């Protein structure tokens, strides 16, 4: 079960494809973001999801919402994945799975990340959570719908 709407997202620090460590509370202080957890770089569903976020990045940028992808792949694999698919957002390496576990995004027994997407507000509280392994494109559409309902229509 994913974190619930209203939960404070756990703080974390992970290596990023920027070459620096990313810390949620410091790097996104006062700004919303989307954190999506996915099983593995270069798999068909994960590639489709990353490319769909890439193709919709301008929508999120207009609201100063950064997109961050997290899996248990290492930085070297993330860098290759990011370059091959021209991803305009950061990928974070949770090789030990501690952040994935804290966000309740670990598949039992298998140990890889589930496909879960979180929209966090400027205070790092969960505004929306979408938990569905199949139908990767639905994650992006759900986030767009939530941003539109919360931010555009106000």
Active site residue 46: yes
Domains of the chain, with CATH numbers?
13-152 (3.40.30.10)
Q: Exactly one of 14, 33, 34, 46 is catalytic; which is it?
A: 46
Residue 30: phi and psi, rounded to 5, are: 75, 10
Q: How big is the chain by its Cα radius of gyration, in Å?
A: 14
pLDDT in tens, the chain (154 residues): 679 999 999 999 999 999 999 999 999 999 999 999 999 999 998 999 999 999 999 999 999 999 999 999 999 999 999 999 999 999 999 999 999 999 999 887 777 788 899 999 999 999 998 886 566 667 677 787 878 777 544 4
Q: What are phi and psi of 124, to 5 degrees?
A: 60, 30
pTM of the model: 0.90
Task: Report d(CA 74, CA 88) in Å as an integer.
Answer: 18
């Amino acid at each position: 079960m994913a974190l619930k709407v209203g939960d404070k997202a756990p703080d974390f620090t992970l290596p990023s494809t920027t070459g620096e460590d990313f810390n949620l509370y410091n790097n996104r202080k006062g700004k919303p973001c989307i954190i999506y957890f996915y099983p593995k770089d270069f798999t068909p569903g994960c590639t489709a999801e990353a490319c769909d976020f890439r193709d919709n990045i301008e929508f999120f940028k207009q609201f100063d919402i950064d997109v961050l992808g997290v899996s248990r792949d290492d930085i070297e694999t993330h860098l290759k994945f990011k370059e091959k698919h021209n991803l305009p957002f950061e990928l974070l390496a949770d090789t030990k799975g501690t952040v994935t576990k804290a966000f309740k995004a670990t598949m039992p027994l298998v140990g890889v990340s589930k496909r879960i997407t979180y929209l966090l507000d400027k205070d790092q509280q969960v505004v929306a959570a979408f938990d569905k392994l199949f139908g990767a494109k639905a994650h992006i559409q759900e986030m767009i719908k939530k941003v539109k309902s919360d931010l555009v229509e106000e």
